[in-house]
Amino acid sequence: MKAVAVFPGKPNSIHLAELPMPSVNDVPDGRGVLVKVLRVGVDGTDKEINAAEYGAAPDGYDFLVTGHESFGQVVEVGPSVRGIAPGDYVVATVRRPGSSLYDRIGMNDMTTDRTYFERGINLRHGYLTEYYVDDAEFIVKVPAGLKNVGVLLEPMSVAEKGIEQAYEIQRRLKVWRPERAAVLGSGPLGLLAALALRLRGLEVTVISRAEPPTLNSELAEAIGARYVSTLQTSVTQAAEQFGPLDLIFEATGVSSVAFEAMGALGRNGVLVLTGISGGGKRIEIPGDDIMLDFVLGNKVVVGSVNANRTYFERGVYDMALAAQQYPGWLERFLTHPVKGLENYAEMIRLLTEAKNAIKVFVEVNHDGLLG
Ligand code: BGC
Ligand code: ZN
């Protein structure tokens, strides 16, 4: 069967590879789930993997099958699988266990190992392929009513984890009733974080570069968030105008923005960093001021990566709520479909060039989704 792959370390090496058809028996103890891939979303990570900025092939291969935002339909399950049946719509998680304590209790996203295993990213093949098989442990069911937007569940899980981390940390306050939040960045992750925060009843300001109106600004406003362009108002100014900010969710991956956000955080506030900055850039910051305010204001900054199945499940729940509260909103993310795995070049082109793209995704097996 066909798959889209790169040769890690070799820039712009994206190509079609050939893989053997997987089988439920590839997974031990009868726990295999064979999934027909329907859609796969792509993001900056895929772009960077194709640019050879990171990514590694699994042992025994010189290529890595890419794609970590999956959506598919179950074809067959092994004899020990309960609660998942052929025909179910599913999304697979991304990170696979290493050996740390956290990995052993299902929190692969919190591994302390040096090496991490992520399908489509690092040392494990991804989902830009016709079928995949995995342990039922890593397969999350999506209700049929969400099948049109199920491909957004992986980025949603990343937003859910970041927000959940903030709430967990704020248990230090015994009572935490956050009122105002800012989300930095209005790409899919930023918008999904804004959604999750709106669903929790917060007033949300989305701060992003582009001047409104854009599809991104319209999507923010459609869920009752405020949209602010940094070309008009800096993060610091926005915090003065619309704060105090109890929570800031950073989703730009730009370090100057993240450090400005530290200064913009309210007392007892929590800043969640989810954007990945691989650039190695050096910046200048008002270190003394930030440090003083952090200490005197009991502030927290936390980094958050990936997501375990708990956050995928929370994502399903919030996406179902969103479908009720903001019908049609999630569907508007699906701006740039690419038909078929063989159009991988178009996929990369849209990922780098498409203006107004929210989500570029590949329709791997469109018939399945309609059926
Ligand atoms: C993925 C995460 C992953 C992270 C780091 C992101 O694009 O959505 O699942 O953990 O990259 O590799
Ligand atoms: Zn991603």
The domain that contains 225 carries what CATH number?
3.40.50.720
Report d(CA 338, CA 22) in Å as an integer: 24
Query: Is the distance from the beta carbon of residue 42 to the nearest atom of ligand 1 less than 6 Å?
Result: no
Cα distances (angstroms) measured from residue 222 to each of 150, 204, 362: 20, 12, 26
Look at residue 51 in the predicted model and tell me its pLDDT: 95
- Secondary-structure breakdown of the chain: helix, strand, coil percentages, each rounded to the nearest 5: 35, 25, 40
Are 261 and 250 in contact by the 8 Å Cβ rule? The answer is yes
Cis check for the bond before 155: say yes or no (omega within 30 of 0): no
> What end-to-end distance do the CA atoms of the chain give, in Å?
21
Are 48 and 68 in contact by the 8 Å Cβ rule? The answer is no
Query: Is the distance from the beta carbon of residue 123 to the nearest atom of ligand 1 less than 6 Å?
Result: no
Pick the closest to residue 8 from 56, 58, 44 (CA basis): 56
- Asked whether residue 65 falls in the same domain as residue 196, the answer is no
Query: Is the distance from the beta carbon of residue 306 to the nearest atom of ligand 1 less than 6 Å?
Result: yes
Query: Is the distance from the beta carbon of residue 121 to the nearest atom of ligand 1 less than 6 Å?
Result: yes
Cα distances (angstroms) measured from residue 110 to each of 12, 101, 142: 31, 9, 24
Structure tokens at 354: 């498409």
Instruction: For residue 241, tell me if it sits in a domain.
Output: yes
Residue to mutate, 305, 311, 351, 361, ligand 1, most ligand atoms under 8 Å from C-beta = 305
What's the length of the chain? 371
Look at residue 368 in the predicted model and tell me its pLDDT: 53
How far, in Å, from the CA of 248 to the mean position of ligand 1?
Answer: 20
Look at residue 371 in the predicted model and tell me its pLDDT: 44
- Asked whether residue 7 falls in the same domain as residue 139, the answer is yes
Which ligand is nearest to the Cα of residue 95, counting in written order? 1
Specify the 3-state DSSP secondary structure of 332.
Answer: helix
- Asked whether residue 184 falls in the same domain as residue 110, the answer is no
Which ligand is nearest to the Cα of residue 158, counting in written order? 1
Are 323 and 146 in contact by the 8 Å Cβ rule? The answer is yes
- Asked whether residue 102 falls in the same domain as residue 72, the answer is yes
Q: Which domain holds residue 68?
A: 2-148+334-369
Instruction: For residue 321, tell me if it sits in a domain.
Output: no
- Asked whether residue 287 falls in the same domain as residue 173, the answer is yes
Residue minimizing CA distance to atom 3 of ligand 1: 306
Report the domain count for the chain.
2
Instruction: For residue 101, tell me if it sits in a domain.
Output: yes
How far, in Å, from the CA of 109 to the mean position of ligand 1?
Answer: 10
Instruction: For residue 95, tell me if it sits in a domain.
Output: yes
How far, in Å, from the CA of 116 to the mean position of ligand 1?
Answer: 11
Instruction: For residue 314, tell me if it sits in a domain.
Output: no
Residue minimizing CA distance to atom 2 of ligand 1: 306
Instruction: For residue 309, tell me if it sits in a domain.
Output: no
pTM: 0.97
Residue minimizing CA distance to atom 11 of ligand 1: 45
Which ligand is nearest to the Cα of residue 274, counting in written order? 1
- Asked whether residue 108 falls in the same domain as residue 174, the answer is no
Are 115 and 98 in contact by the 8 Å Cβ rule? The answer is yes
Instruction: For residue 56, tell me if it sits in a domain.
Output: yes
Report d(CA 48, CA 57) in Å as an integer: 15
Torsion 151-352-224-236 (CA) sign: positive
Per-residue pLDDT 10s for the chain (371 aa) are: 999 999 999 999 999 999 999 999 999 999 999 999 999 999 999 999 999 999 999 999 999 999 999 999 999 999 999 999 999 999 999 999 999 999 999 999 999 999 999 999 999 999 999 999 999 999 999 999 999 999 999 999 999 999 999 999 999 999 999 999 999 999 999 999 999 999 999 999 999 999 999 999 999 999 999 999 999 999 999 999 999 999 999 999 999 999 999 999 999 999 999 998 777 889 999 999 999 999 999 999 999 999 999 999 999 999 999 999 999 999 999 999 999 999 999 999 999 999 889 999 999 986 655 44
Specify the 3-state DSSP secondary structure of 175.
Answer: coil
- Asked whether residue 234 falls in the same domain as residue 262, the answer is yes
Query: Is the distance from the beta carbon of residue 157 to the nearest atom of ligand 1 less than 6 Å?
Result: no
Phi-psi category of residue 71: left, alpha or beta, with phi > 0 → left and psi -120 to 50 → alpha: beta
Query: Is the distance from the beta carbon of residue 252 to the nearest atom of ligand 1 less than 6 Å?
Result: no
Report d(CA 32, CA 25) in Å as an integer: 6
Report d(CA 229, CA 251) in Å as an integer: 15
Residue minimizing CA distance to atom 9 of ligand 1: 306
Strand extents, DSSP E, 29-171: 32-42, 64-65, 69-77, 89-92, 95-96, 117-119, 123-124, 131-135, 139-142
Would strands 360-363 and 336-339 be described as parallel, antiparallel, or unpaired? parallel
- Asked whether residue 247 falls in the same domain as residue 360, the answer is no
- Asked whether residue 174 falls in the same domain as residue 120, the answer is no
Residue minimizing CA distance to atom 1 of ligand 1: 306
Report d(CA 276, CA 299) in Å as an integer: 22
- Asked whether residue 107 falls in the same domain as residue 176, the answer is no
Query: Is the distance from the beta carbon of residue 305 to the nearest atom of ligand 1 less than 6 Å?
Result: yes
How far, in Å, from the CA of 240 to the mean position of ligand 2?
Answer: 32
Look at residue 280 in the predicted model and tell me its pLDDT: 83
- Asked whether residue 104 falls in the same domain as residue 173, the answer is no
Residue minimizing CA distance to atom 12 of ligand 1: 121
- Asked whether residue 55 falls in the same domain as residue 79, the answer is yes
Instruction: For residue 317, tell me if it sits in a domain.
Output: no
Look at residue 370 in the predicted model and tell me its pLDDT: 44
Report d(CA 39, CA 155) in Å as an integer: 14
